[in-house]
A and B are shown apart, each in its own frame.
Chain A
Amino acid sequence: MRRSKSFLAICLITAISIVLILAFLLNISGLTTYGVNELTGLAKLFVLNIPDPTKPWSSHAFEIVTAILWDQRGLDTYFETSVLFLAIVASVALLSYYGRRHVHEGTGDGYTTMIVKVVTKLVVPIIAVVSASIAIHGHLTPGGGFQGGSVFVVAPVLMLLAYGSRFLSSRGFNELRLLAIRALSVTLIFVVGLLPVLYLLTHGTAYLFQNTYKPDSAFTYPYLIPTPIGMILTAGSIMIYNILEFFAVAAGFTLAILLLTREFERGDKK
């Protein structure tokens, strides 16, 4: 049965009109017009204040995107992390509901040749190190927890393709552990954001998800930590958030992909 011509025409007209309305709205607000050479007021405020330690609203960070993400819009980002968590939990719930009815472990062999297995063995440690570096230097160079975690997920995907899901489970990547890491990271992010509130109850003014000192609040996370090799810049809580988010994203996506692969392997057996 072919779709009727009038149906196709209606779909085409709707799609074109939606996009034209979008383009018109963007154009009247000046967003898709060429020739803008000034930052918006909000962006100017961020760029001037975040890297400058003499300003009262400074985050003591070199990377403006990550600083906005975890300092200026910290609460917002926390709830976005929760959305991610819920999406992963929903997939896991669906997958494990069906998984319980037919108890099954992965086939364990993978589908590839010797070459892919050897290359995977060589590449996986490099991916892990690079992703950890992206997350830890999130407040200094482009990157952060979300980006590092997404890069890390490539390593388990390669291992799943080369070795199969049973190998990954036997190396400690089992569902319960990954789910525990995921839940623990999200909880710890909220605890770190909640600490200023405890300060508020006992000492004086502080704000939820506060990073360093503000004009009317003395509460601050240490942003320069003295160590034997010199002063280490942590940019307050931004580094902590980045590392926790790295674990959260990496564990969450590894879990989802592990369960999906197991489901596909079961499909093969039928």
Chain B
Amino acid sequence: MMSLDGFLWYYIVVAILFTITCALYGIATKPHIIKKLVLLTIVSDAVYVLLVLMGYRIGATNPPVVPGGVLENPVFPSHKTIVEFMHKVVDPVPQVLIVTAIVIGLAQFVFLVTISMHLVKSTGSFDIRRIEGEKE
């Protein structure tokens, strides 16, 4: 019998993979340029969630922040506290990779929006087939 935790884990993984499939299908088939951009953000966000999810450990209750951090007169934790902390913390490495990925993804999205705006303004159409001259 699968535990509730395990069921939720596989449910989320399958849901994310299904989201990625739908979005990839949409990017390939939808001719509307704004729909393509929206689906692109859906793919990237689903991948970010999947990566952060992989950092989960059973019984982890803490984010990777040592409790007790203050700006004035900080008391650094002892080795024993840190070892205890290590057993209830999620994996920090995927989170590190995602922090920069989100901001860079946003910057690239701004660039894509700029390009598509000029395409739409110069051709007067949102349809990628019309922009490419496939269809009159």
Contacts and interface: CB of A to CB of B under 8 A. Distances in A.
B99 A249 contact: no
A181 to B, nearest CB: 16
Given A52-B76, A140-B70, 13 more contacts: A15-B24, A23-B17, A34-B6, A34-B10, A52-B79, A63-B65, A65-B95, A68-B93, A88-B110, A147-B99, A149-B103, A150-B103, A260-B113
B21 A60 contact: no
A217 interface: no
Given A11-B28, A64-B92, A91 B110 contact: yes
6 contacts: A37-B59, A65-B64, A65-B92, A146-B103, A231-B73, A260-B113
Contacts of A35: 6, 58
Nearest to B60: A37
Interface stretch (A38-46, A112-120, A124-132): A38-46
Contact of A88 (B22, B29, B59, B107): B107
A64 B129 contact: no
Contacts, number: 180
Contact of A39 (B28, B79, B89): B89
A51 B115 contact: no
Interface of A: 1, 3, 7-8, 11-12, 14-16, 18-19, 22-23, 26, 31-32, 34-40, 42-44, 46-48, 51-54, 60, 62-65, 68-69, 73, 77, 80, 83-84, 87-88, 90-91, 94-95, 98, 137, 139-142, 144, 146-147, 149-150, 224, 229-233, 249, 252-253, 256-257, 260, 263-264, 267
B66 A80 contact: no
Interface in B68-89: 68-74, 76-77, 79, 82-83, 85-86, 89
Contact of A231 (B72, B91, B107): B72
Contacts of B95: 65
B129 A77 contact: no
Given A40-B91, A150-B103, A260 B70 contact: no
A149 to B, nearest CB: 8
A140 B76 CA distance: 11
Interface string B22-65: 10110011010000000000000000001000100111000111
B71 to A, nearest CB: 6
A83 B66 contact: no
Contact of A37 (B58, B74, B114, B118): B58
Interface residues of B, number: 61
Interface of B: 5-6, 9-10, 13, 17, 20-22, 24-25, 28-29, 31, 50, 54, 57-59, 63-66, 68-74, 76-77, 79, 82-83, 85-86, 89, 91-93, 95-96, 99-100, 102-104, 106-108, 110-111, 113-115, 117-118, 121, 129, 135
Contact of A11 (B29, B59, B86, B91): B29
Nearest to A55: B79
A1 B85 contact: no
Contact of B91 (A1, A43, A62): A43
Which of B20, B74, B86, B115 counts the most A-chain CB atoms under 10 A from its CB? B74
A80 B104 contact: yes
A87 B6 contact: no
Contacts of A253: 106-107, 110
Given A35-B6, A47-B92, A64-B92, A146 B99 contact: yes
B107 A8 contact: no
Contacts of A22: 17, 20
A43 B108 contact: no
Contact of B115 (A65, A94, A257): A94
B77 A233 contact: no
